[in-house]
Amino acid sequence: MNTDSAATAPPDPRRWWVLGVISLAQFVIAIDSSVVNVMGPRLKEAIGLSTTGLQWVMNIYVLLFGGLLLLGGRLADVVGRRVVFMAGLTLFTLASLGAGLADSESALLTARALQGIGAAALSPASLSILVTVFPDPKERAKAFGVWGAVIGIGASIGTILGGAIVNADWRWAFWINVPVGLLIGAGALALIKLPRPGGNRPPKDLAGAVTATGGLLLLVYGIVTSSDHGWGDWRTYGSLVVAVALLVAFVLVEQRSAAPLVPLRLFRSRSVVAGSLGEFLTAAMMMPIFFLLPLWMQGVLDYSPLQTGLAYLPVSIALMTLAPVASQMIGKTGPRSMYLLGTVALAGCVFMLTRMPVHSGYWSFLLPVTALFGVGLVCCLIPTPVVGTSEATDEDAGTTSALLNASTQIGAAFGIAIAVTVLNNRVASQAAEGASPNVALVHGLQSAFLVLFVFLALSVLNGLFGFRRGVIAPPAESTESPATPDAPAAPEAPAAPSATATPERVG
């Protein structure tokens, strides 16, 4: 495929429909990251799930999702984005069917593990398709506005949907993915017509795949298991030590590889580093709030699962109403101002959570907390992928997308692990001092949310020094293309910068 012709090719008329398909796929993934938050008691009753097993219903999904993302992103670049998208969607859909049919702890955990593997292929393939079919920087910013809103809405709707479905039958929280998966698959086959990689395939970087995947799996495992066993347990620090060793080995392997799994030049890109940090820090603040706040609502305020889910409605409303405005504004203000505004809103939300009362009304506390939370998510989730992929080329769109997704999953696991550790320690100390269970829980939650100010401070620094001022410029054009078309397709290579484009990139 000639890059000159790709650069001058008209925009794919189906690109907005393609965005709808891949956004729906990401929506389902986001829902499944949070839908289990409110179904714990029902899972214990229905299949005898243990407390440890209940934690691993979420952890095993995050573990395999985060650990395999880099491999999934590289496969999207080498094998083909549509192929990997369809493979991931098929596995995710079948695993969802299996999760709904599960009648034991082992069956449910196996299905959740397969969901995580499917998501690890589906998510980076979706994001790299978005990068490819929207070469124009202004349109790409709008597309990322939709993408960022979908992630936040999915996480909040997952809690609402989980609460509504759990009141009827928890199995439908997984079964609903089956008809949606079939709809996504039909749309993808009809609309996504990307060229398939052809010619000489690059040599397989087997050593890079093994060290990167093993390192990320053990890193996420060490983080998520710390909430069960503590940071001083041999399983936690042993996993982290081996993870660091494997990741160091991965860097050494990539330096010598003719076709690296992850080109190390990506880490010299300010945009990739700043975008990845933004994803990590936002997820490290977002997921503990989604995970811990229901403990207070259900454990202290006696909210039902449905009431707990509906309490997050302001988050979804903020994302749906503000995301279109934010995606329009980012082209005028640049991503840094929006990202810092979002960090300030999240700081207000966290400040209120650190002053959480033992008993409170919805209107006086939960409404302002969730409203600030929604505004903060809009302003942080939209600019980070715009920045992170602003210099992505056709050859590394999948890998760059996987780095951003991996940062999100690792940040979520790290934030939850830190917050849960602090929560458990504070609750134990309060109980030892004779505090009632409700008072001990509230004080523990206050301490857990207080830790999030560390991530907020780092987020401010990332916004100030990682995000540059200015307008996002389109990515530089590659000098060679690895793909040959197999269908009359959407333009595969990003367009070259126009003469009027701002030469400075936002990274």
Whole domain around residue 434: which residue ranges? 3-194+259-484
The string of DSSP codes covering 469-494 is: SSPPPPPPPPSS--EE-SSS----SP
pLDDT tens by residue, 208-259? 878 888 888 888 788 877 766 777 888 888 999 999 999 999 889 888 887 7
Average pLDDT value for residue range 134-146: 80
Average pLDDT value for residue range 304-323: 82
pLDDT tens by residue, 395-454? 777 778 778 878 888 888 788 888 888 888 899 899 899 889 899 999 999 999 999 999
What is the number of alpha carbons within 13 Å of residue 326 lying toward its C-beta?
Answer: 32
CA distance 321 to 210: 43
Query: In the prediction, which pLDDT does 334 show?
Result: 83
pLDDT tens by residue, 48-78? 776 567 767 877 887 788 778 878 887 887 7
In this predicted structure, the answer to whether residue 22 has a pLDDT above a threshold of 60 is yes
Helix-, strand-, coil-residue percentages of the chain, each rounded to 5: 75, 0, 25
Answer whether residue 179 is part of any domain: yes
Answer whether residue 412 is part of any domain: yes
Average pLDDT value for residue range 153-182: 77
pLDDT tens by residue, 198-210? 555 555 677 887 8
Answer whether residue 22 is part of any domain: yes
> Domain with 303 in it: what CATH number?
1.20.1250.20
Answer whether residue 26 is part of any domain: yes
Answer whether residue 199 is part of any domain: no
Q: How many domains does the chain have?
A: 1
Answer whether residue 319 is part of any domain: yes
pLDDT tens by residue, 263-310? 888 888 888 999 999 999 999 998 889 888 888 998 889 887 778 878
Average pLDDT score over the chain = 80
Query: In the prediction, which pLDDT does 490 show?
Result: 33
pTM for the whole structure: 0.74
Query: In the prediction, which pLDDT does 483 show?
Result: 35
Answer whether residue 213 is part of any domain: no
Answer whether residue 499 is part of any domain: no
Query: In the prediction, which pLDDT does 339 show?
Result: 94
Q: How many CB atoms lie within 10 A of CB 147?
A: 24
